Amino acid sequence: MKSIPRHGRGSARTLVTHRDLGLEIIFLDKGALNWHVEGRVERVTAGSVYFSLPWQEHGSADEFEPGHHWHWVQLGLAGRIDRPRTRFGFHPDFGIGARPAAEISALLTRSGRHCYRATPRMAWLIPTLVEELDRKEGADRDYVSALARLAILELVRCIRASERSDHAASGSVRRIEAFIGGLRERCEEAWTLEQMAAETRLGRSRFALLCRQLTGDSPLTLVNRLRVDRAKERLKISDDTVTAIAHDCGFSSSQYFARVFHRFTGMEARAYRRKHRPR
């Protein structure tokens, strides 16, 4: 269909930086990813919806992103898509008039974020739309157009619901966000779940639940992810041994570091250094 130039489902080892042919809406139903739009990185967790506009370069912030599954569609816009626009319309098939299109385009272009918690309707809409487009006997054009229109309108609801939620964020959430923000600089410390929960004045179970909702990781997995991120930077610029870097980044042994590093990057530390070390 010309109104929906591309769609799909599945996963990818990494998503190279690229542009699309329309408004892309992705629903992530499994795993977690680090994606960027124009260089700004956001953590996309299971149950989230993520959008990008056709003139925005976006893709994976990491070279290796295993264990996820998504559904996605690209919905056609009216007019030029090769340069940034603050006002745009949608393909006529979607039946969105000029006035609502102007309001939607203003919301999407002024949004500082691209990832939002999906509503239950959005979690149904995008997989259903992809399933309809994949029908062997051919998609029902009217049904697809109706689903696409609803997906655009539900994206607006996801953004506005998230904005209201951010405004009314609980003290617990704000404390965890502040803690996570500073954890990158302290990731080498010998953290336990109890210590992290105590830093936010929460019980272990509550802290672990909110941490996973906010980051897609369990608390200890998040610590290891940040340690690996630090190790990757050290491998690029330092002549220190892999063992020294592992210990400096908080890993108790080089063997444990090797297992964790491979899980997050898909390669050994020495191979990573060879690939990324400047000539």
- Is the alpha carbon torsion for 259, 176, 209, 167 positive or negative? negative
Angle at 219 (CA atoms; ends 218, 223), nearest 5 degrees: 115
Q: What is the mean pLDDT of residues 219-243?
A: 93
Of the pLDDT bands very low, low, confident and very high (cuts 50, 70, 90), residue 169 is low
Long-range CB contacts (within 8 A, 24+) of 237-246? 242/269, 242/270, 242/273, 245/269
- As a whole number of angstroms, the distance between CA 21 and CA 1 comes to 13
Query: What confidence tier does 107 reach under pLDDT thresholds 50, 70, 90?
Result: very high
- Mark whether 260 and 156 lie in a shared domain: no
For residue 167, pLDDT over 60 is answered with: no
Q: Is residue 234 part of a domain?
A: yes
**Are 35 and 157 within one domain?**
yes
Q: Which residues make Cβ contacts (< 8 Å) with residue 179, sequence separation at least 6? A: 196, 199, 200
Domain, as residue range, for 251: 171-276
Q: Are residues 15 and 117 in the same domain?
A: yes
Do 122 and 11 lie in a common domain?
yes
Determine, yes or no, domain membership for 211: yes
Using a pLDDT cut of 90, give the percent of the chain over it.
71
Residues 105 and 152 grouped into a single domain: yes
Distance CA(167)–CA(169), nearest Å, equals 6
- For residues 151 and 33, membership in a common domain is answered with yes
Pair (116, 216) in one structural domain: no
Judge whether 1 lies within some domain.
no
- Where residue 100 sits, what CATH number does that domain have? 2.60.120.280
What is the average per-residue pLDDT within 167-172? 68
Round to whole Å and give the CA distance between 216 and 261. Answer: 18
For the stretch 3-23, pLDDT in tens is 999 999 998 888 889 999 999
Per-residue model confidence (pLDDT) at position 168: 53
Chain-centre distance for alpha carbon 164: 20
Q: Are residues 43 and 132 in the same domain?
A: yes
Tell me if 52 is assigned to some domain.
yes
d(CA 8, CA 134): 8
Based on the domain organization, do 156 and 65 belong to the same domain? yes
Last residue of a domain, one of 123, 150, 167: 167
If one counts the domains in the chain, the total is: 2
Q: In what order do the strands lie in the sheet with 69-75?
A: 6-10, 69-75, 23-30, 48-52, 115-117
Residue 105 lies in a domain: yes
Pick the last residue of a domain from 127, 143, 167.
Answer: 167
Pair (26, 125) in one structural domain: yes
Residues 6+ apart with CB under 8 A from 161: 116, 117, 119
